[in-house]
Amino acid sequence: MIRVRGVHKYFGDLHVLRGIDLDVEKQDVLCVIGPSGSGKSTLLRCINLLVRPDAGDVFLEDVRVTAPEIKPEWVRQRIGMVFQSFNLFTHLTALKNVTIGLTHVKKMGKQEAILKARRELERVGLGNKLDAYPAELSGGQQQRVAIARALAMDPKVMLFDEPTSALDPEFIREVLDVMAKLANEGMTMIVVTHEMGFAKEVADAIVFMDHGQVLERGTPQEILERPGHERTKSFVGKILR
C-alpha cells in the first residue's frame, strides 16, 4: 500500500532523514517508535507531502507520489492524518470540522456531507457533541473528532503522529480504543507512538528509528522483547520500565 524508498530530508544543514525504506501492506498497522528528534514525524509528513523529500520516493499503491507531476492535494485526499496537537479548526463546530473536507475537497452536497459527518462522529463515540466547538471538548474528544475528520475522507491509509502524546492520562484510553477498533476494521495505519501497550496489541510490525534511520524492523515481540540492536535495547528498556 505504502512504499518508501531511500528518502532523505534536510532542514538546512540538519540531515533529518538518512535514507528511509519502509513497506506497509494493505490492512497492516505499522508502529514507528524512537527517541524524539529521530525523524519519525518528518517521515510521516514526507508520506503525505506536507514535507517534500529531498531525495528518494514514496509510493501509494502503484503511484509514485513524489513524482513532480503528482499534485500534493491528490495524495493528501487519499491519506488521512491525525496530529499530536489535534489541530481542529478552532472556529468550526465538531460537525463542521468534519464536513469542511467533504464539501470543499470532495465536492459533496451539504446534506450528504452532514449525514456522513454524523456517521463518522458517532463511530468515534461523539454523536452527542456535533455542535460543540473544539475549545469546549476535552483533549480526548478533540482527538477523536480529528480522527473522524480524517476518516470521513475515506482514506486508503491513516497516519497518526503521536496521537496521544498531548493527552492527559485519563483520556489516552478512549483514543487508543478508537484506533484499535479502526485497525480491527482493516484500516491501513502508520502510527508514531510511545504507547508500547498499543503497539504490542495492535501493530503487525514495529520499526525503531534513530538519527533519521530505520535501525530495526520486526514483529512487536521481536522488537519489544528481543531487540537486536543496542540502541533499540536501551530505548525499549527505558520506555517499558
Partner 1 sequence: MGGGGLTLTGIARDAVAFLRGGLRAHWRSVVGLVGLLGFGALITFLLGQVGVLDLPFIARRWDSLWIFAWVGVGLTLTSFFLGFAFATPIGLVRAYASGVFTRRKGRPAAVVSFARARELYGTPKAVRVVGARVLRKALVAPAYAFATGYVEGIRGTPFYVQMWLVFFFAILAYPALPGWVQGGVAGYFNFLRYPRIPEEFYFAGLLALTLNTIGYQGEVLRAGFQSVDQGQIDAAKALGMRGLRIFRRITLPQALRLVILPLTNEWISLLKASSILSAIAVTELMFQSKQLGVNEGHPFEAFLMVAGMYLLINVTVGKTAAYLERKTRIPGLGIPGTASGTRRVRGRVPSRGREAAKN
What's the one-letter identity of residue 110?
Answer: K
> Is-contact 43 228, C-beta < 8 A?
no
Residue count, binding to partner 1 (CB under 8 A): 46
- The residue among 91 and 241 lying less far from partner 1, judged by its C-beta, is 91
Contact 230, 215 (CB under 8 A): no
Nine-digit cell at 11?
532542514
Complete DSSP assignment for 20-57: EEEEE-TT-EEEEE--TTSSHHHHHHHHTTSS--SEEE
The x, y and z cell numbers of residue 51, run together, are 514535507
12: contact with partner 1 by CB under 8 A: yes
Binding flags for partner 1, 155-194, as an x/- string (CB under 8 A): ----------------x-----------------------
Cell of 5: 524508498
The binder of partner 1 chosen from 7, 20, 40, 83 (CB under 8 A): 83
Q: Is the dihedral of CA 166, 191, 29, 62 positive or negative?
A: positive
Contact 120, 153 (CB under 8 A): no
Position 137 contacts partner 1 (CB under 8 A): yes
Supply the minimum distance, in Å, between the C-beta of residue 172 and partner 1: 13
Amino acid sitting at position 156: K
Residue number, 7 or 206, with CB nearest to partner 1: 7
Give the span between the Cα atoms of 21 and 167, in whole angstroms: 30
- Tally of CB atoms within 10 A around 109: 10
CB of 165 to partner 1, least distance (A): 14
Nearer Cβ to partner 1 (53/227):
53
Q: Using the rule CB under 8 A, is 153 a contact of partner 1?
A: yes
Residue 6, classed as helix, strand or coil, is strand
Q: Are 180 and 158 in contact (CB under 8 A)?
A: no
**Least distance in angstroms from the C-beta of 197 to partner 1:** 23
Q: Does 138 bind partner 1 (CB under 8 A)?
A: yes
The β-bridge partners of 2 are 24, 60
Closer of 82 and 223 to partner 1 (Cβ): 82
Please, which residue, 73 or 201, has the CB nearer to partner 1? 73
Decide if residue 52 touches partner 1 (CB under 8 A): yes
Q: Which stretch binds partner 1 (CB under 8 A): 47-55, 114-122, 205-213, 227-235?
A: 47-55
Which lies closer to partner 1 via its Cβ, residue 57 or residue 222? 57
Binding site for partner 1 (CB under 8 A): 10-14, 48, 50, 52-54, 66, 68-69, 72-74, 76-77, 79-81, 83, 85, 87-91, 100-101, 104-105, 132-138, 140-141, 146, 149-150, 153, 171
